[in-house]
């Protein structure tokens, strides 16, 4: 398929049972968040379209050898990776325009990283030990031959958000498919093209059998709930807000299906009193601005020694003030737009709340004066709030950093853990042993110590508490999509 054919007519399609098709509800627009211009149209599915997708996935799992043909699965996943790499420049432009992702991030987790990470899923399936001899035993005096078999769960419903669509879509598709499942993907209405383009590429450049992958775009946020409720779906893999995650769990309970949840975060960046405060505070502020703060694992609480609080606020504000919201096409842009007017208004609501609860802005606090078009918010540092304030406890999902004072290591750990979330954390200290001791006490799924990078295809990602359950990526993420069967055969 030539590059020029990707969404060439400005209208994307559903991908159901191996075919591209229109949505029964018509179409809906996808918007460039930096310009507020309509990029084009996406197929708008209804409940009947979703039902067809689930039926196709069910049939492909039950009536073909997909779940047992490891060689085919490995080949198809590698074909998808190669085809995405072939189209990488077109995909880069699509990601910048539809997601508002800064160009620099498309060389990492916004595009190239997750495309390359498909190799990990294929390689894992190829080398995985699917059957394991459990060894000798004589239960009740009977000596059976026992084997542990690892098998695909079945039909997976994947529900994904808009902030890192390629990373999250492919982090579900890759391992789920390589493990032998069939799949129905329901992406966020804000970024339908980033998902729909996968259907075009799979249809024309891979050997995936019909029904194995189905992609259903819709303007209806509630359509994903059908995947959780449908008894033909064996597992739901959901990334999004904690509130929606609770609804997914409740809907899935009726059929007791497996549920993987990667949810919200309000992560702490802990600076101990022996650390380089200026360097750590600057890194924290820069991190909070990346992609306009639209990342669940971004550390948005800067927890610093009380005696140096004002210094930390000044450094953070200086860094954030130097980062201007800009055109995501510009190679130097770090902080682009928020995804929508609704999200911009939500962030502004939290900024207004910060003032109402007694906080002050060390910088930022609203829309940039020079940007009347686009869903932009200034990078903002909030000072003067305790960890009990709502802007310090609730996920804002914007370029907003709240600075909180601590009174020593124990207090810093208490503040970091005093959250309903437990997704990620950071610790800075001049003493590696001291930093490690604090990191060990944080109730989170990932910890960055003194600038360590935890994101990698072979590293599991997920959270504690209300940040979700299960793990994505790594061997642990691959095994989320597997069942365990014990086969005991009487010895002869």
Q: Which of 98, 262, 378, 480 is catalytic?
A: 262
Assess contact for 94 and 110: CB atoms under 8 A: no
C-alpha distances out from residue 303 to 281, 310, 345, 399, 414, Å: 9, 12, 27, 17, 11
CB atoms within 10 A of CB 138: 9
Total residue length of the chain: 492
To 10 degrees, what angle do helices 432-441 and 409-417 make?
A: 30
Per-residue buried b or exposed e for 7-33, using 16+ beta carbons within 10 Å of the residue's own CB: beeeebbbbbbbebeebbbebbebbbb
Report d(CA 382, CA 120) in Å as an integer.
40
Known catalytic residue: 262?
yes
Q: Which residues does the annotation mark as catalytic?
A: 262
């Amino acid at each position: 398929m030539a590059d020029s054919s990707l969404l060439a007519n400005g209208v994307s399609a559903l991908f159901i049972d191996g075919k591209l098709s229109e949505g029964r509800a018509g179409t809906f627009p996808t918007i460039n968040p930096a310009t507020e211009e309509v990029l084009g149209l996406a197929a708008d599915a209804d409940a009947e379209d979703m039902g067809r997708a689930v039926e196709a996935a069910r049939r492909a799992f039950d009536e073909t050898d997909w779940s047992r043909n490891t060689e085919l699965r490995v080949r198809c996943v590698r074909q998808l990776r190669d085809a995405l790499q072939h189209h990488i420049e077109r995909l880069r432009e699509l990601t910048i325009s539809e997601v508002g992702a800064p160009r620099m991030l498309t060389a990492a987790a916004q595009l190239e990283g997750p495309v390359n990470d498909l190799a990990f899923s294929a390689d894992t399936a190829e080398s995985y030990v699917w059957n394991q001899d459990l060894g000798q035993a004589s239960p009740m005096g009977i000596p059976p031959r026992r084997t542990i078999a690892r098998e695909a769960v079945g039909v997976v419903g994947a529900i994904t958000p808009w902030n890192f669509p390629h990373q999250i879509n492919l982090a579900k598709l890759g391992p789920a498919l390589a493990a032998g499942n069939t799949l129905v993907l329901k992406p966020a209405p804000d970024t339908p093209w980033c998902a729909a383009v996968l259907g075009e590429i799979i249809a024309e450049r891979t050997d995936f059998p019909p029904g194995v992958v189905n992609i259903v775009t819709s303007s209806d946020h509630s359509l994903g709930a059908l995947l959780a409720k449908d008894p033909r779906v064996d597992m739901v893999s959901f990334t999004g807000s904690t509130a929606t995650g609770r609804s997914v769990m409740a809907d899935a309970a009726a059929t007791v299906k497996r549920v993987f949840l990667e949810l919200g975060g309000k992560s702490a960046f802990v600076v101990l009193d022996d650390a380089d405060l200026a360097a750590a505070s600057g890194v924290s502020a820069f991190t909070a601005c990346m992609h306009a703060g639209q990342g669940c694992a971004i550390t948005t609480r800067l927890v610093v020694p009380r005696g140096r609080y004002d210094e930390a606020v000044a450094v953070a504000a200086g860094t954030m003030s130097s980062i201007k919201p800009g055109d995501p096409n510009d190679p130097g842009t770090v902080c682009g737009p928020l995804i929508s007017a609704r999200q911009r208004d939500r962030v502004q609501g939290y900024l207004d709340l910060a003032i109402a609860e007694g906080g002050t802005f060390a910088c930022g606090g609203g829309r940039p004066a020079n940007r009347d078009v686009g869903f932009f918010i200034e990078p903002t540092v909030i000072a003067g709030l305790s960890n009990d304030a709502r802007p310090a406890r609730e996920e804002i999902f914007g370029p907003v950093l709240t600075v909180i004072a601590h009174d020593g290591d124990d207090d810093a750990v208490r503040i970091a853990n005093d959250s309903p979330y437990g997704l990620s954390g950071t610790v800075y200290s001049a003493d590696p042993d001291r930093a490690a001791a604090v990191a060990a006490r944080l109730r989170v799924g990932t910890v960055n110590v003194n600038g360590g990078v935890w994101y990698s295809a072979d590293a599991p990602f997920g959270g504690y508490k209300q940040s979700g359950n299960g793990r994505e990526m790594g061997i642990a993420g691959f095994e989320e999509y597997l069942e365990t069967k014990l086969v005991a055969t009487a010895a002869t």
